[in-house]
A and B are shown apart, each in its own frame.
Chain A
Amino acid sequence: MWTSFKRIIKWGLTNFWRNGWLSTATVSIMVLTLLVITVLLMVNVTANAVLGNLENKIDISVYFKLQTPEEKILQVKSELEKLVEVEIINYVSQEEALIKFKEKHKDNPILLQSLGELDVNPLEASLNIKAKQANQYASINQFLEGVYYQDVIDKVNYMQNKEIIQKLSKIILDVKTGGLGLTLLLAIIVFLVTFNAIRLAIYSSREEISVMRLVGASNWFIRGPFLVEGVLYGIIATIITIAVLYPIFYFLSPKISSFLPVGDIFVYFRANLLAFLIILLGTGIILGGFSSFIAVRKYLKT
């Protein structure tokens, strides 16, 4: 058993080496596949970062009438917190609003002076609400419009931002589904290309396979070396892919960061190098091994 295993590995390596050109061609195709997959992964990560960034900028504020007691506002807050759509709520009291206002307009003495002339704080307390997803603001707004709160709420700024929120959430959704579809499509295409490349490589060995059967080799003894070759394609292609992408991300990353609101791609790539390695290695080995297995099976049928 062990001897057979050793021999299978030996022939796999020998064949890989002796079929130099064929191996090079197959590995190249697999490198392209893995490159496409890595780039797709990175694009997805980047797009999600950009969209997340965009989503974070959306929120709505509820302003309460001036004489509303604080416990009433906190009660509304805790009611809101029970909604599944709500991610986080920030309570801004009248005093805090005033401090923020002064801070914001500290270069405008006239405004501050006129504010000082008032006896009461004219700023309203507010709740700042962030939804989990951009398309959930409509339902939060609906909740607030319920009759129960009408006597304390002065206004909800959803109405003013409604159009832009709706537009943004539609864009986000479109990009996400479109991106997923495109990713799947490209992934399927490159998988099929690699699968067929390996099938062609083995097609050129069909004579050899029939001879091996004639000599009395068992199916596993014939199949084994091809599986080893397939797996080897995957391993070498992974190494090449990483070696190619490393410098590319290194040089490209600052350029991307300069016009997209995302962190350093290279840093992300390096931090997740192990994960990328495992994903690519897994894809390569399974793709190579599986394709070889299927391709050889055709010529092993008695």
Chain B
Amino acid sequence: MIEFKNISKYYPPDCAALKDISFRIEPKEFVSVVGRSGAGKTTLLKLLLKEEDPSEGEIFVDKKNIKDLKGKEVSIYRRKIGAIFQDFKLLSNKTTYENIAFAMEAGGKSDEEIIADVPQILNLVELTDKADNFPAQLSGGEKQRVAIGRALVHKPDILMADEPTGNLDPLHTWDIIRLLCRINELGTTVILATHNREIVNALGKRVISLDRGRLIRDEEKGRYIV
């Protein structure tokens, strides 16, 4: 479903963030992308989300080269990928409910669908009682759950998580990881970028290891070894 073909990304003047990366991810897989800070994890996810274009190589999603997407197609493509981040990226002047509803509105969903779906999602991420709180009134773990809820509104095929637990304490970290596993079991491909050794080793799923922009290991039931 996702294929990276000989991807390289250079930032001027001479910084190579990714060098000749190739891999495939099948539907419903749970893949961890690991590596130290600066190994290229975030760049890889940015390329997948088409926030940036690769300097060399091609990325196919559902057999479609995402380089060819233009304007409106990009917004539609992004709705297929739910994304969560270390810094949550919530809309700070919107409540929990509105943050999730906004994503649906942006996707052109009808008011009826929004009224029906948002409570279900809030229930899934266990935030029903915080629906009217603004992000500033939520804990880190709660914020990340809002972000996950928002990522799920379009029933995405892929959920992409960039260091989702980087700002969280261990307790909340495991909350989030459990939630990701559950979402994966419900049929969504999950790509988790992290440098948390403990999590990766406990998951026992596929691991892609990056080091200084190169893919150094790609193993089923892998471990964090860098």
A-side residues, CB < 8 A to B, are 3-4, 7, 11, 15, 18-19, 207-208, 210-218, 221, 302
Contact = CB atoms under 8 A, between A and B. Distances in A.
**Interface centre among B74, B76, B79, B93, by most A CB within 10 Å?**
B93
A200 B19 CA distance: 39
30 contacts: A3-B110, A4-B105, A4-B108, A11-B102, A15-B93, A207-B89, A208-B91, A211-B89, A211-B90, A211-B91, A212-B91, A212-B102, A213-B75, A213-B78, A214-B49, A214-B51, A214-B89, A215-B102, A215-B106, A215-B150, A216-B76, A216-B79, A216-B103, A216-B106, A216-B107, A217-B103, A218-B72, A218-B75, A221-B105, A221-B106
A224 B94 CA distance: 16
Interface of B: 49, 51, 72, 74-76, 78-79, 83, 89-93, 102-103, 105-108, 110-111, 150, 154
A228 to B, nearest CB: 15
A3 B111 contact: yes
Nearest to A8: B105
Contacts of A216: 75-76, 78-79, 103, 106-107, 154
Nearest to B50: A302
B70 to A, nearest CB: 10
Contacts of B49: 214
Contacts of B91: 208, 211-212
B103 to A, nearest CB: 4
A216 B108 CA distance: 10
Given A18-B93, A208-B93, A212-B91, A218 B83 contact: no
A145 B91 CA distance: 82
A127 B185 CA distance: 105
Contacts of A3: 108, 110-111
Nearest to B105: A7
A271 B74 CA distance: 54
A8 B93 CA distance: 15
A70 B28 CA distance: 111
B83 to A, nearest CB: 6
Contacts of B108: 3-4
Given A19-B93, A212-B91, A302-B74, 7 more contacts: A3-B110, A207-B89, A214-B51, A215-B106, A216-B75, A216-B154, A217-B103
A11 B75 CA distance: 19
A182 B89 CA distance: 48
A15 B92 CA distance: 11
B78 A214 contact: yes
A215 B93 contact: no
Contacts of A18: 93
Contacts of A212: 91, 102, 106
A208 B83 contact: no
Contacts of B154: 216
Given A3-B111, A4-B108, A217 B75 contact: yes
Contacts of B111: 3
A163 B51 CA distance: 75
A207 B90 CA distance: 9
A231 B127 CA distance: 36
Contacts of A214: 49, 51, 78, 83, 89
B92 A217 contact: no
Contacts of A11: 102
Contacts of A217: 75, 102-103, 106
**Interface centre among A11, A19, A215, A302, by most B CB within 10 Å?**
A215
- 8 nearest A-B residue pairs (beta carbon): A217-B106, A216-B79, A216-B78, A215-B103, A216-B75, A211-B89, A18-B93, A7-B105
Nearest to B81: A216
A257 to B, nearest CB: 50
Contacts of A215: 78, 102-103, 106, 150
A3 B78 CA distance: 21
A207 B106 CA distance: 17
Contacts of A7: 105
Contacts of B106: 212, 215-218, 221
A3 B91 CA distance: 21
Contacts of A19: 93
A216 B51 CA distance: 11
A214 B99 CA distance: 13
